[in-house]
Amino acid sequence: MSDLGFVETQRVVLGTEDDPLTLACGRRLTHVEVAYETYGELSPDRDNAIFVCHALTGDAHAAGHHGDPARRGWWDNLIGPGKALDTDRFFVISPNILGGCQGTTGPLSIDPATGAPYGLDFPLLQMSDFVAVHQRLLAHLGIERLLAAVGGSLGGMQVLQWMVDAPEQVANGVMVASSSRLTAQNIAFSAVGREAIMRDPNFHDGRYFELEGPAARGPKIGLAIARMMAHITYLSEEAMTEKFGRRLQDKTADVHRMGFGVDFEVESYLNHQGNTFLDRFDALSYLYLTRVMDYFDAFADPDAAARIAAARSRALVISFDTDWRFDTSHSLRVLRTLERAGVPVTFREIRSAWGHDSFLLQPPGYHETVAAFLDHAHEVCS
């Protein structure tokens, strides 16, 4: 196996005044720009395309590098020559989702009607809106049907929604560490993160881009806290114990003179996660995208799974045994709902010490399971 080399992020306008994107809420976007990357070559029959849907804080840069080989895409261990998403055989498409902040239209984009950023005037989104933009990107690329759509966490939710909305377009869906609907606990975690952002004095009713001076950095404290808390849910207790234990930053410090600073290694780690997040993500996108997840309910329509079965689409559902953010019960609900409808579905729970973040890593059996499923899909479609 080898790694992809230099890749470029491309941009395309997929919604215009003459061809606006009508959202599930009824509002229209008259300018929709999408950032995306592709890896591998599209076959002459255009039948080898795999669409990658990213998680909450992901972006279009899933594999390869942008000039520094040490800084690679977020799913580089899965995408590339000889890897599970083998770019010697597959044409892989990876966009930034609607509402994001890495090149695709979102709350900080310019509203054509006002000439200023949308802020909180940006419309609330639903999972089907992500899919609608994905479909426009496929049409732009001249692809009618995907060999597979693959995603982890929020990415897996997009895959499932796509299979519900347009099952004839997705021959195979791969959903990793994902869910068909959030539990009250998951909604609660997101609610606290949003409150931290909106209660930050520099949130400025969502128009922090109008501020000047130090405040112009926006609700950075709130966004960092939201990221810190969310990151706790991405790791298992086993992983945190192994990585940090109760170790102190300063091994020579007098434990009887400790204050409220960053004393433990785990505290330093969370601070680092919160601070580095500020350089690459926007607070408004965090609000909008987490709210989409809250309201997502793929099987609210009782005929949803039956539509997938009628299209003869197949599915792979993967969970990790230490993932407590979307524990295996979430995947089993997807499995059983699809099975009852007659959808051919494969399920595997993978042993991993790393909790929810396992979908970004390479625990034994994970990539092999994805590769075997896609190999079979490719053989059937060839």
Going by the annotation, the residues of the binding site for substrate are 227, 357
Q: Which of 86, 94, 134, 153 is catalytic?
A: 153
In the residue annotation, 2 being an active-site residue is answered as: no
Residues belonging to the binding site are 227, 357
In the residue annotation, 3 being an active-site residue is answered as: no
From residue 364, alpha-carbon distances to 37, 159, 331 in Å are 28, 24, 19
Interatomic CA distance for residues 110 and 57, integer angstroms? 21
What is the DSSP-derived secondary structure letter of residue 108? T
Q: Which of 86, 200, 282, 323 is catalytic?
A: 323
Non-local (6+) Cβ contacts of 279 within 8 A are none
Q: Which of 54, 61, 134, 356 is catalytic?
A: 356
Determine contact, residues 92/85, Cβ cutoff 8 Å: yes
In the residue annotation, 19 being an active-site residue is answered as: no
What is the DSSP-derived secondary structure letter of residue 87? T
The per-residue DSSP string of 1-48 comes to -----B---EEEEEE-SSS-EE-TTS-EES-EEEEEEEES---TTS--
Q: Give the containing element (helix H, strand E) for 236.
A: none
Strands 172-176 and 314-320: parallel
Residue type, 270: L
Could you give the residue numbers annotated as active site?
A: 153, 323, 356
